[in-house]
Structure 1
Amino acid sequence: MADRLQVDLVLLESISSRLRRSGEMLGAARAGKPAMPDAGEATPIFAELLSRLSESSANLVAGLQEAGTRVAEANQTYAASDAAAGRHIDGAY
């Protein structure tokens, strides 16, 4: 039905955990930066490329962590709202 919202709290927690773990794994992989290759005259180009890749991966790590945190917060909000609605319904009878 279009007028119902059903939220799987266990699934949201799983998604949050996966996002955070992915960020942690990427961050750990990023900590071991590769050595600068000797590319002769092209070495400055490769240095710039590696620098940009490093910066982009740092942004991705931060984004994954932030997304995981926001999903966890949404999960808590849904759970609290559901519990409050249940108490409201119980109080009506």
Structure 2
Amino acid sequence: MSDLLLNVDVAVLDAIADRLIRVGDSVDTAGSSAPSPPDAGPGTPVVSDVLARLCAGAASLAESLRGTGSRVAEASRVYAQEDADAGQSLHEAY
């Protein structure tokens, strides 16, 4: 039955969540400060399109990282509460 045990280090989950959110913020900052398109002669529209797509991709990545970080933080909070409740139930039973 010991193979059914689950032990989660809440501090590790919180650190992961924090890191994901901070990296998402960093990616968002980098994406929003993209330089204006260079003068590439006849290729300027293509270069502009590539830069716009990169910025859109960075914004999407940033949103996904922050969202994932928020979900990990919520999972950590729920796990900690459920673990505390289970511990209290065991304490009350014995």
Match of 1:26 in 2: 27
User: Tell me, which stretches of 5 or more residues in structure 2 are unaligned?
Assistant: none
Post-superposition offset of 1:25: 1.0
Shift of 1:31: 2.2
Aligned length: 93
Could you tell me the TM-score, scaled by structure 2's length? 0.94
1:63 is aligned with what amino acid?
S
The one-letter code matched in structure 1 to 2:45 is: P
Separation of aligned partners in 2, 1:36 and 1:58: 18
Report the counterpart of residue 56 of structure 2 in structure 1: 55
Q: How far apart are residue 29 of structure 1 and its match? A: 1.5
**What does residue 15 of structure 1 align with?**
16
The alpha carbon displacement at 1:72 in A equals 0.2
- The percent identity for this pair of structures is 40
Residue 38 of structure 2: aligned partner = 37
Are 2:73 and 1:72 equivalent residues in the alignment? yes
Q: CA deviation at 1:63?
A: 0.2
Q: Using the TM superposition, give the Cα deviation of residue 54 of structure 1 relative to its aligned residue in structure 2, in angstroms.
A: 0.7
Q: What are the superposed Cα offsets for residues 12-48 of structure 1, whole Å, 9 maximum, x if unpaired?
A: 0000000000011111122212111111111111011
Three-state SS of the structure 1 residue aligned to 2:75 is helix
Runs of 4+, deviation exceeding 3 Å:
none
RMSD in angstroms over aligned alpha carbons?
Answer: 1.0
CA distance in 2, matches of 1:52, 1:46: 10
Runs of 5+ unmatched residues, structure 1? none
